[in-house]
Structure 1
């Protein structure tokens, strides 16, 4: 395994300072050679990737939500292709995201709420070249990723059916604006906006404004030309 002789080198990619310090101390006591990768302000995923690969560790202990460093999921595939074993420890509860990491080659995905001994046990198994997840657990998470990906594709296709005006209305809804404010900002009647909202719900095949906003966010949708919004009245 790259970076491993008598001691396994662990590159720690984590933007939460207290968690990183706790893992550093604990893993060092357990005999790992810990190298922390600082997630600096305005850091780019490519910069983090270069920093990790330059160390040539045996294991990369990776968070997914890296603040200024962006989405850690994007680092999994290139790290695993380089021969580095990736262990994800994340606060995200998105099982599809976990499945994506495993699909991209991560050896294990664990929750930050897991017991410390569980994380240490996973690292020991990976360092020894053994499996952390059962085949069934792994396949279940990967299947969840594929299922969610198809849902997102479907929502995006439905979003393409929206008219320019419906796009504007949905954008306002995503900003948390009620129908009355949308009507005032657009100089149209509330009845007109309600008709437009009804059309949006029909095209997205959902039954509420909240569901429409949730579907758009889940799909990572951003309006092509986002209209200016006014703050909601308190």
Structure 2
């Protein structure tokens, strides 16, 4: 029989019953760990923390009413001494960064074995950080680069004039240049001039590439400008 004073108390925060029951049974096999409760949502995690006083919260990242990072934030706002370990199927850099920002001690994938999970819980309870500094630095570097690239893409899209956005929107619908000219009541030569401007601003070699980039970058055409010229030559 387990000796209560030596136990590390664990709260499970997991919305899938079968997973929670499996984890409960798994952790109950370790003499120094005990699961004190199970919450299936962000909202339920806080009152259960207050009621059960766990030392470690083992949290899934995807929950029905928010993220595990939100649950961790609320739990640690209530009791900063509760250590948090994430157990998730989400492998994204965004999830890991959110977990770190929420004060997580560790971030494990659901493919982890029982001994790995138990060791992570013990280490977290002892105040150790299980996310290697190198891994975090690599994730931060990728995040900075993706942020920089996204900013460049946004800047390129925002550099398009209202007329260029109109024409690009028609291009994405598969409308050819002559049909664009007819639809906008402008000359074919004017359409070609605008298309060249679009290709230059999006750094595209063809209209097809411009359309592909616009779609990838989340292009949303601006509302038609009532002051735009309608009789360009």
| From 101, 124, 127, the counterpart of 1:103 | 101
Q: How many residues align?
A: 204
How many angstroms apart in 2 are the aligned matches of 1:9 and 1:159?
52
State the distance in 1 between where 2:60 and 2:37 align: 15
C-alpha separation in 1, matches of 2:47 and 2:152: 37
Render the CA deviation track for 1:57-81: whole Å, top value 9, x for unaligned.
2112112222x32333333344345
Cα distance in structure 1, aligned partners of 2:115 and 2:5: 23
Inter-CA distance 38–209: structure 2 relative to 1 (3 Å threshold): same
**Structure 1, gaps ≥5 residues long:** 40-44, 226-234
Q: How much does 1:194 deviate? A: 11
Q: Normalization by structure 1: what TM-score?
A: 0.63
**Separation of aligned partners in 1, 2:27 and 2:60:** 16
Q: Secondary structure at the match of 1:76?
A: helix
Instruction: Give the equivalent residue in structure 1 for 2:114.
Output: 116
Deviates further, 4-13 or 198-207: 198-207
Distance 1:194 1:147, change over 3 A: same
Q: Which consecutive unaligned segments of at least 5 residues does structure 2 have?
A: 224-233
Quick one: which of 76, 82, 89 aligns to 1:91?
A: 89
Say whether 1:36 aligns with 2:57.
Answer: no
Distance 1:195 1:16 in 2: 57
From the CA coordinates, give the structure whose radius of gyration is larger.
Answer: 2
Displacement of 1:202: 6.0
Whole-angstrom distance in 2 between the partners of 1:198 and 1:36: 60
Q: Secondary structure at the match of 2:67?
A: coil
Match of 2:124 among 107, 123, 126: 126
Give the TM-score normalised by structure 2: 0.63
